[in-house]
Amino acid sequence: MAESRLIGGYPVIGIRPTIDGRRGPLKVREGLEDQTMGMALRAKKLIEENVKYSNGEPVKVVIADTTIGRVAEAAACEEKFRKEGVAVTLTVTPCWCYGSETMDMNPHWPKAVWGFNGTERPGAVYLAAVMAAYAQKGLPAFSIYGRDVQDIDDNSIPEDVAEKILRFARASIAVGWMKNKSYVNIGGISMGIAGSYCDASMFQKYFGIRAEWVDMSDIIRRITLEIYDKDEYEKALAWIKANCKEGFDVNAGKDLPEIIRKSKVVPADKDWEFIAKFSIIVRDILYGNLSRNSSRNEYCRCATPIALYRYVGRGVFLATFDEKFGVITLLLHNLDTKYASCIDSHVNIRCRNRRCDV
């Protein structure tokens, strides 16, 4: 997998094939092994072919080493998932299972259950029973069930079931990707707009994101003291000059008042240089810069942003008036649908995890 700017790996989806654990003369479990594991393999294939990480690679999906019919197997599955970096689980079954012995009890993982709607065994009964158990224990879970009854030997995933599995997978990967990251405010509240206020408790409670703040005077400090990567600055400026075409100057020839002329603190012929420095400094704040041979990151303050840093030239989201709720909505839209969203660029930014301070 390509190297990620995230601190920590990409979230992984774990699939739990649960089964009726009864053995003996009737060979109940033995007769269900292939069908149950087959559901897990088909779900894995569906997700890997249709859900991608932010770097474009398929989402990693792991399956429990065995079907899960008893508590010991459920515990072994959870231990494997913990080592694999699983952040969300999908339980699949074509039959009745012992609910309290086979259910995913990890309170930190989003979870869903797909119960096979078949002609022979009651996958629906287990689905209903385990969803009731989750509700009783206060553990949120999502129910996935096909509209139409399938023959017992039908190995296809119905269209409505596939849609529910993929919607859950995309949403849960977005949740796993945001958890334990940071939202960095560069600047403060603009014009008294309530939406500009960064409610740290809201970000923590609903998204598992910590809030951090950087004053915009720090951008000027870094520009003045040249605390940025000179090689990256030259590369950025060259790209800007080659690709950013200037339009006409609406103020050209106007006799503007002196107070307005003085407000233009950056000379017009230095605009692109300032913008290039501003951009790479913000990127350093968000992601850090490990290009120099140093045991300490000299540029980074708060690394790994929650900003959408993958589409449209890998640009970071900048929001006019620091509209935090709008940005977090666009973030969720982007992560869940894979389509880039866009808002006006002006003032403030967002981001992810801490490496070090300057």
User: What percent of the chain is modeled with pLDDT above 70?
Assistant: 78
Give the per-residue pLDDT at 326.
Answer: 60
Confidence of residue 209 (pLDDT cuts 50, 70, 90): confident
pLDDT at position 322, please?
46
Averaged pLDDT, 65-72: 96
Give the closest residue to 209 by CA, choosing from 122, 90, 332, 112: 332
pLDDT at residue 347 is higher than 60: no
The string of pLDDT tens digits covering residues 146-184 is 998 888 888 899 999 999 999 999 999 988 888 888 888
**How many other C-beta atoms can be found within 10 angstroms of the C-beta atom of residue 233?**
17
The CA-to-CA distance between both ends of the chain, in Å, stands at 31
**Joined tokens for residue 259:** 């107070």
The residue among 287 and 134 whose pLDDT is bigger is 134
Task: Quote the pLDDT of residue 138.
Answer: 94
User: For the residues 8-28, what does the mean pLDDT come to?
Assistant: 90
Contact between 182 and 210 (Cβ < 8 Å): yes
pLDDT of residue 70: 95
Could you tell me the domains of the chain?
12-177 (3.40.50.1070), 181-337 (3.40.275.10)
Higher pLDDT residue, 285 or 36?
Answer: 36
Rounded to an integer, the average pLDDT of 104-121 is 90
291-340 per-position pLDDT tens digit = 643 433 444 443 333 333 222 223 333 333 445 556 666 666 666 555 44
21: its two tokens: 């654990």
Q: What is the pLDDT of residue 333?
A: 60
Kindly report the number of other CB atoms within 10 A of residue 248's CB atom: 6
Residue among 10, 8, 9, 7 at smallest CA distance from 354? 7
Q: What confidence score (pLDDT) does residue 293 get?
A: 38
Percent residues over pLDDT 90 in the chain: 46
What is d(CA 302, CA 284) in angstroms, rounded to the nearest whole number?
A: 8
pLDDT at position 358 over 60:
no
pLDDT at 79: 97
Q: At what angle do helices 217-224 and 271-287 cross, to 10 degrees?
A: 110
Which pLDDT score, from 0 to 100, does residue 300 have?
47
Residue 111 confidence class, pLDDT cut points 50, 70, 90: very high
Round to whole Å and give the CA distance between 116 and 96: 10
Give the separation between CA 17 and CA 92, rounded to whole angstroms: 5
Q: Pick the residue with more confidence: 280 or 182? A: 280
Say what the pLDDT of residue 320 is: 36
Higher pLDDT, 179 or 109: 109
Taking the whole predicted model, whether its pTM rises above 0.75 is answered as: no
- Mean of pLDDT over the chain: 81
Average pLDDT value for residue range 199-219: 86
Alpha-carbon span 162 to 338, nearest angstrom:
17
Is 174 in a helix, a strand, or coil?
A: helix
Q: At a CB cut-off of 8 Å and minimum separation 6, what does 171 contact?
A: 110, 336
For residues 273 and 353, what is the distance between their CA atoms, to the nearest angstrom? 28
pLDDT of 299 reads: 45
| DSSP H helices in 205-257 | 217-224, 230-243
Q: What is the mean pLDDT of residues 127-142?
A: 94
Count the neighbouring beta carbons within 10 Å of the beta carbon of residue 83. Answer: 9
Reported as a single tens digit per residue, the pLDDT across 210-266 is 888 888 899 999 999 999 999 999 999 999 999 998 888 888 888 889 888 888 888
pLDDT over 60 at 66, yes or no: yes
pLDDT score of 213? 85
